[in-house]
Amino acid sequence: MINFKENIGKKVTISGFAEKVRNLQWVQFIVLRCEGKRIQITIEKSEEKNKDMVEIVNNLTNESTICVTGVINENEKVKMGGMELIPEEIKVTSTSYPELPISITDKNAANIDTRMDNRFIDLRNDVNFNIFKVQTEFVRAMRQYLYDNDFTEIHTPKLIGAASESGSEVFEVNYFGNKAYLAQSPQFYKQMAIAAGYEKVFEVAPAFRAENSNTNRHATEFTSFDLEFANINSYEDVMEVEEDLLVAGLTAVKEKYGDLIKELYGVDVVVPTKPFPRIKLQDLYKELNERYGYEIPDHDIGDMNAETEKLTSKYAMEVYGHEFIFVTGFSKAKRPFYHMRKDDVPQGYDLIWKGTEITTGAQREHRYDVLEAQAKEKGLGEDIKFYKDFFKYGCPPHGGFGLGIDRLTMLLLGLPSLKETMFIFRGPNRINP
Ligand code: AMO
């Protein structure tokens, strides 16, 4: 979309949606919406040269698409930034049915399911439309950080022959009469890249989870921002890269969209200071108990649950004035076999932002014998033989993490659920459109 201010007095051609058509006695107005921006088109009915256009606008329905050629005029009476387009030609490129299935201006006029059924209309609402403008900038800046630091982008298969990671929570597909699965994470392949000699790799791609959980933060298909890199000394190195990555992303988002985010979502984008606070799980339990009287349920001991995550952020804010906090020291029973362990403690972390986990990261076990023992302990066998082989012929120490970008965007914009944040949401009860 052209910059109106820079083109005052110039002849331009703009295409977009006729958001609102008003036909008054002497004048016609169209609010033209293009990529979320708006300009008023003003047509004086009395002028002979406008005769054909007046006829077109007489029959124009809201949300039809038009292509307008005209001159941009500064007019302080116009509400929309004091700018209007005086048209010389209007072409209708498609005609909208007069009744829309849902409102564009009031997103709360329909329930979330009806909105998702009509997502292509729902996204025309400014709040929804701009989610992906902001997300694009966030992901662009994080990618840029990786390019600048010599990460290699890989594209790993999402159709896999053996269930990855744990064997549970995967979708099974019929692959020419044989069983195949949808990848729940690129975990094994990003480590394969390290074994192949790439020092630093990343992938931004879909991940599939057959979890029947109807929460605000689980989807059955989401986009995972994954990276892995070699020659680390500990998982602390991984945490540091994640700090830098998020600072790069949030700095860019604040610069480009800080004002818009404040206006549309009522959220102040905070660029976090480094280092982010860190706490061991056992100390966290103690703090949450002392401060908020919270007792972790027996079945979650060694791990976190939704309630713990919420309180952990409250604690991080109260004690450190920080939106982020790393939690370490999870129990080996609750972590995958491929996390390196030291004194039996997995060398990994979760990162919590605004009450929700956004990342799991770790140093990986790269020593074949130890890895095999840990896999055996978790009851994993033949399925992961191909993976264990990566560590037989030389593989440097390495680590990495997976960051869910749908959650990231939800938390950034303070939206209540992934249903709102994802371009098209996929959950246990939602496989269309
Ligand atoms: P994990 O299973 O914790 O770790 O996933 C990493 C991140 O992905 C996001 N995420 C989800 N987002 C939406 N819906 C879901 N159902 C969902 N599940 C996970 C979260 C989460 O923090 N292989 C490891 C990562 C690694 O160690 O590199 C893994 O997949 O933001």
Q: DSSP assignment of 358-384, as one string? A: EEEEEEB---HHHHHHHHHHTT--GGG
Which structure tokens are listed for 85? Answer: 């387009």
* Distance from residue 156's CA to the centre of ligand 1 (Å): 16
β-strand pairing of 178-182 with 356-363 = unpaired
* Distance from residue 309's CA to the centre of ligand 1 (Å): 15
User: What average pLDDT does this structure show over 285-300?
Assistant: 97
pLDDT bin (cut points 50, 70, 90) of residue 246 is: very high
* Distance from residue 52's CA to the centre of ligand 1 (Å): 57
- Look at ligand 1, atom 12, and give the residue with the nearest C-alpha: 404
Q: Is 310 helix (H, G, I), strand (E, B) or coil?
A: helix
The pLDDT of residue 288 is 98
* Distance from residue 322's CA to the centre of ligand 1 (Å): 22
pLDDT bin (cut points 50, 70, 90) of residue 166 is: low
* Beta-bridge partner residues of 33: 17, 38
- Look at ligand 1, atom 15, and give the residue with the nearest C-alpha: 218
* Distance from residue 31's CA to the centre of ligand 1 (Å): 42
Which structure tokens are listed for 271? Answer: 């660029």
- Look at ligand 1, atom 10, and give the residue with the nearest C-alpha: 404
* Ligand 1, CB within 6 Å, residue ranges: 185, 187, 209, 211, 218-219, 222, 224, 226, 357-362, 400-404, 406-407
pLDDT bin (cut points 50, 70, 90) of residue 165 is: low
User: What average pLDDT does this structure show over 83-105?
Assistant: 96
Helix (H), strand (E) at residue 103: none
Residue 226 has pLDDT above 60, yes or no: yes
Which structure tokens are listed for 190? Answer: 């990003």
Distance (Å) of CA 370 to CA 46, 343, 375, 396: 86, 13, 9, 14
What pTM, to 2 d.p., does this model score? 0.96
The pLDDT of residue 2 is 84
- Look at ligand 1, atom 18, and give the residue with the nearest C-alpha: 218
In the chain, % of residues over pLDDT 90 = 93
Tell me which of 360, 398, 421 to substitute to probe ligand 1's pocket, judged by most ligand atoms within 8 Å of the beta carbon. Answer: 360
Query: Ligand 1: which atom is nearest the Cα of residue 226?
Result: 28
- Look at ligand 1, atom 1, and give the residue with the nearest C-alpha: 360
Chosen CATH of 5-94 out of 3.30.70.340, 3.40.718.10, 2.40.50.140, 3.30.830.10:
2.40.50.140
Q: Average the pLDDT over each of 1-15, 130-144, 222-236, 402-416 and give the range with the smallest value.
A: 1-15
Give pLDDT tens digits for 247-270.
999 999 999 999 999 999 999 999
Q: What is the CATH number that goes with domain 122-421?
A: 3.30.930.10
Residue 31 has pLDDT above 80, yes or no: yes
The pLDDT of residue 168 is 61
Residue 300 has pLDDT above 60, yes or no: yes
Q: In the chain, which segments carry CATH 2.40.50.140?
A: 5-94
Residue 167 has pLDDT above 60, yes or no: no
The pLDDT of residue 44 is 97
Q: What does the alpha-carbon distance between residue 333 and residue 346 come to, in Å, rounded to a whole number?
A: 9
pLDDT bin (cut points 50, 70, 90) of residue 1 is: confident
Give pLDDT tens digits for 115-159.
999 999 999 999 999 999 999 999 999 999 999 999 999 999 999
Q: In the chain, which segments carry CATH 3.30.930.10?
A: 122-421
Q: Which residues contact 86 (CB under 8 A, 6 or more apart)?
A: 41, 42, 70, 71, 73
Query: Ligand 1: which atom is nearest the Cα of residue 209?
Result: 16
* Distance from residue 162's CA to the centre of ligand 1 (Å): 19
Residue 36 has pLDDT above 70, yes or no: yes
